[in-house]
Amino acid sequence: MDDTTLSAGVEAAEAPQTAGDRNRIEDGGQETDGAPTVEGASTQMRHAAPLTGHLRQLEAEAIYVLREVAAQFERPCLLFSGGKDSIVCAHLARKAFTPGRIPFPLLHIDTGHNFPETLAFRDQLVSKLGVRLLVRSVQDSIDAGRVQEEPDADPSRNRLQTVTLLDAVAELRIDAAIGGARRDEEKARAKERFFSHRDGFGQWDPKNQRPELWNLFNGRKLNNEHFRVFPISNWTELDIWQYIAEQAIELPSLYFAHEREVVERDGILLAIGDYVAQRPGETVNRERVRFRTIGDMTCTGAFRSSASDLAAIIEEVATARVTERGDRADDRRSEAAMEDRKRLGYF
Amino acid sequence: MDLLRFSTAGSVDDGKSTLIGRLLYDSKAIFEDQLEAVEQASAARGDPSVDLALLTDGLRAEREQGITIDVAYRYTATPRRKFIIADTPGHIQYTRNMVTGASTAELAIILVDARKGVLTQSKRHSFIASLLQIPHIVVAVNKMDLVDYSEARYQEIVAEYRAFAAKLNVRDVVYIPISALHGDNIVSQSQNMPWYHGATLLHHLETVNIGAGRNNVDFRLPIQFVIRANGAADLDFRGFAGQIVSGRIAVGEEVVALPAGIRSRVAGVHRGDESCERAVAGDAVVITLEDEIDISRGDMLVRVRNLPHSSNQIDATLCWMSEEPMTVQGPVANSFSGQWYWLQQSTRRVRASVQELNYRIDVDTMHREDAQTLHLNEIGRGQIVTTEPLFFDSYQINRATGSFILIDPQTNNTVAAGMIRDRARRVSELVPQQEEKEAPSPRTARSSNVVWEPVAVTRPMREEQNGHGAAVLWFTGLSGSGKSTVAKALEQRLFALGVRTFSLDGDNVRHGLNSDLDFGAAARAENIRRVAEVARLAFEHGNIVLCTFISPYAADREAARTLAPEGSFWELFVKCDVEICKERDPKGLYARAERGEIPNFTGVSAPYEEPLQPEMVLETDRHSVDELAQQILDALARAGIVPGGDN
């Protein structure tokens, strides 16, 4: 072992992450192999100052959780939606295992209703991280007769993806699915454990959760059961944005103010595109907007904003008076919409 | 910005949810759509007013029954601090969830209804807080508006709680009279209670010393995961990943891997992409070593001269969390023939069985009772045997290495939370009567809590009359470094300015107050603890207290620090090269120590842990005594503690 290199002081550039092993893919299959350009993802990191205060603690907590997953489970995966929270999780996973490679694949449950920007960004990130990407699509579930499309003009596939996800868990025998959910997002999520047990049907039993003490995570389970693991449970929306800024993490352009055609429906601004059509009586306006969360085009609301860089977004988030999921049509269905969906195995 | 994790417990009746709602609302952490949803839900069920409990009780069953079942986490921040609030249930049938919420808290808010006084539920929460060693307790006497903001009623409740808390092992208790409904003493000082001069709740949360529960001394790195990478240039990377749970480590330091017992030196410390010289408790790191050693998950890296206990028999306090009662094996030869459990401690998971239950503790009366087993939500003390040795410290000293859980191998449920007291002891040593007579060790003294008799003249009143603030100046450094010399010079200047001072000197207290203590680590801790308590009394009486103690252990100084509000305790590191100290050797002690006549002499045969973040560093080998005394005086003036300075 070359000691002089390993102990070479504070310059991250001297650290042994230049060793190229993390790009090596041991098992082939239908997955997209990462291109050998790890440098691209980490170049920006070298200029990031060491973290301090609460972000340093939150990062250490998340990295600890990710390493527990890698150690306690055989076939974990990181659920990747293309949203900022899952991008941060992927970034944390890279930091947790560097200079080794991330020891689990990313899994994207593709509703087929994505923003085109999301998919382009996903492929670019996967290639930079040199990580495996698995995609399972709701369209396949529909074609196989596992689920039925909602009989709506612009059907939401939000509920349908639970079936696709649980089928993927069974097919790939996934024992831990890591997600980017945060407790501050929603009142049912405020009750989540870091290691959240799911029974053989993928169901969550919120009234009877395992006690979770100190940072001792119990990942033991029966064969057909699995866990959902949430490394960034304790982060708030503002923490996420501050962290993205400090670490110079790249994001899809949707998060920054841009002009696009939108229609106002039930008080929510929806982007007109392949999956959202103008309805009679609605007017389409071209507006300067951005997105606070990114889900399907059919249920993610845009909001009017001129915040075009991270500093402006942080300012906007710090003074926001509406929650980030306030623009999510999927949460508005009932008072316990999230709890009900989570019980059935939703993300 | 730093981070404070605190817990609250109680029922809706205590006004817990109103309090949290108020804290969130006043610090603008509630959003309009959340409030709107709560208003709609309240209106839908015909509530007369908006029920803020709906904000925290997130589950359908909780909202239907109007109770809290499970922990909910809430987040808020002020410009000074980020807060993680674990909102826990207070009902006895959910004790396990209360323990879950309290296990990571650094402060607990105990709610007391001013009309009802200290009820069972407040006592239970206090007991659990003391069991889990939450460093700070706030007793929030709520609904003061319903007792006409009566000071007499408040004092009655304080006295009642104090009598109860004397039985607990709690170090720092602060009492605050509030009305969560009307916002009295939550964010701003109440106009309705002019008799209360203490901090508001939010101010206290913003300034209470955090890190009091952290162990910065004993380096422990439980290995989570081994990271390997085979690179191009013959670089075989093999790093040991984990979170440093206590202490600190630097490149070049010697470590030993347990259980193998093999020594090596730290070649590199990595935090993510960053290679650093050192890392501290809380950091998630990857460490590389100079030698090839076989280390895997569950092993622990520690310092050669600071080892944890190693044993396969432990004495522990257990909180039972399963509907299925605990199985006690009895002291039989083969403990693993019947029911056994997985025991998970740090990153280690081994088989274990409970050999003996010593007693059960009635959570409401705190009496010890004979018991054959523990049922759901019961707490007791037992002896546990494991198949492989554990590496641990007592929970009192180190929460991270002293805690464990038991897992039922059939159901895989977490069935118990455990706090290690010590290595297992023979049952005859543990009968309850003897336990009562046990001399309290310095760190576990049951009466070490600092509960104040209400004073007629408060510190702010004294400070105003004195015309200067109170403070504790803690001079730490090697023998001969010049602590007393600098302190004396400073005290003369302060005296000349008319400032009230109070001096506590290491040698002097050792003649009287602490003449019963020797110089071992435990006795040093007790020495500092007593001195810190005396310093606090003098501080509360409006003095600038000058303490000159070698105080070599960071943990002891941190403990002293927690006794004063933030900004009032100054750690002054009197820094001087040990060789110069030896040359000075004003009392001839170094010479005697080197001849072996004085055991445990700091700098010769006992360690000195340098302060990591002292308020000031005074380099006596580079500056004159007068210069240094003036520097401190200027700093005190700038801080507004003594007159003069910029304002």
Closest CA to B382 of B366, B408, B361: B361
- What are the tens digits of pLDDT across the range B280-309? 999 999 999 999 888 999 999 999 888 899
Q: What is the percent of chain B with per-residue pLDDT over 70, rounded to a whole number?
A: 85
A41-56 residue pLDDT tens: 333 344 467 788 899 9
| Same domain? A109 vs A167 | yes
Average pLDDT on A147-164 reads: 77
Rg (CA), chain B: 26
Q: In chain A, what residues touch B236 (CB-CB under 8 Å)?
A: 1
The distance of B578 to chain A (nearest Cα, Å) reads 27
- Delimit the domains of chain B by residue range: 2-207, 220-303, 309-430, 459-638
Query: What is the mean pLDDT of the segment spanning B450-471?
Result: 76
Q: B240-286 pLDDT, tens per residue? A: 999 999 999 999 999 999 988 899 999 999 998 889 999 999 999 99
Question: Is the predicted pLDDT of residue B91 greater than 80, yes or no?
Answer: no
Place B435 in a pLDDT band, splitting at 50, 70 and 90: very low
Give the residue with greater pLDDT, A14 vs A54. Answer: A54
Mean pLDDT value across chain B: 83
Q: State the best of A44, A191, A325, A335 to mutate against chain B, taking most chain B CBs within 10 Å.
A: A191
CB-based contact A96 B60, cutoff 8 Å: no
The amino acid occupying position B107 is L
- DSSP string spanning B147-190? GTT-HHHHHHHHHHHHHHHTTS--SEEEEEE-BTTTTBTTTB--
Give yes or no for a contact between B14 and B2, defined as CB atoms under 8 angstroms apart: no
Q: Phi first, then psi: what are they for B434, rounded to 5°?
A: -70, -35
Token pair of B43 as six digits: 């209106």
How far does the CA of residue B427 sit from the closest CA of chain A (Å)?
A: 28
Among A136, A116, A119, smallest CA distance to A127 is for A119
CATH code for position A49: 3.40.50.620
Check: CB of residue A245 under 8 Å from CB of residue A251: no
What are the chain B neighbours of A320 within 8 Å (beta carbons)?
31
User: Considering the domain boundaries, does residue A212 fall inside one?
Assistant: yes
Q: Token pair of A40, please?
A: 């691209």
Contacts 24+ apart (CB under 8 A), A140-147: A140/A164, A141/A167
Do A86 and A213 lie in a common domain?
Answer: yes
Tokens of A310: 């991270």
Fill in the amino acid letter for A18. T
Average pLDDT over residues B542-569: 85
User: Average pLDDT, stretch A299-326?
Assistant: 81
B551 a catalytic residue: yes
Quote the radius of gyration of chain A (alpha carbons, Å).
20
* pLDDT tens figures, A97-146: 988 999 999 999 988 888 888 889 999 999 999 999 999 988 888 888 88
Residues A262, A230, single domain; the answer is no
| Interface contact B344-A218, CB threshold 8 A | yes
Query: Looking at beta carbons, which pairs linking B306-309 to residues 24 or more positions away fall under 8 Å?
Result: B306/B217, B306/B218, B306/B219, B306/B247, B307/B256, B307/B258, B308/B218, B308/B220, B308/B258, B308/B391, B308/B392, B308/B393, B308/B398, B308/B401, B309/B391, B309/B392, B309/B393, B309/B394, B309/B422, B309/B423
Residue among B24, B33, B346 with most chain A CBs within 10 A, to mutate: B33
Judge whether A345 lies within some domain. Answer: no
**Looking at the 3D structure of chain A, how many domains does it have?**
2
Distance CA B376, CA B326 (A): 9
Q: How far apart are alpha carbons B389 and B608 in whole angstroms?
A: 31
Q: If one looks up domain B309-430 in CATH, what number appears?
A: 2.40.30.10
Average pLDDT over chain A reads 79
Whether A82 and A141 share a structural domain: yes
Query: Could you tell me which CATH number the domain at B459-638 has?
Result: 3.40.50.300
Residue linked to tokens 């105990």: B110
CATH number of B2-207: 3.40.50.300
Reported in sequence order, the residue ranges of chain A that DSSP labels E, i.e. its strands, are 76-79, 106-110, 133-137, 176-178, 195-198, 226-229, 258-265, 268-271, 284-291, 302-304
- Domain shared by A91 and A179, yes or no: yes
- Separation of CA B200 from chain center: 21
Q: pTM of this prediction?
A: 0.73
Check residue A146 and give its pLDDT: 82
Same fold, B220-303 and B459-638: no
Peptide bond into A99 cis (omega under 30): yes
- Judged against a pLDDT cut of 80, whether residue B189 lies above it is answered with yes
CA distances from B517 to A211, B190, B255, B551, B558 (A): 43, 46, 32, 14, 20
Q: d(Cα A297, Cα A262) in Å, to the nearest integer?
A: 11
Which DSSP state fits B560?
Answer: H
Q: Do A182 and A289 share a domain, yes or no?
A: no
Among B17, B551, B568, B624, the active-site one is: B551
A344: in domain: no
* CA end-to-end distance (rounded Å), chain B: 27
Q: Give residue A272's domain range.
A: 253-332
Chain A residues in contact with B276 by the CB 8 A cut-off are 10, 50
Tokens of A342: 């989570």
Question: In this structure, what token pair is assigned to residue B631?
Answer: 């520097």
How many C-beta atoms surround the C-beta of residue B107 within 10 A? 24
Structurally, at CATH architecture level, domain B220-303 sits in Beta Barrel (2.40)
The strand pair at B248-250 and B300-303 is best described as unpaired
Q: Which of A41, A57, A176 has its CA nearest to residue A101?
A: A41
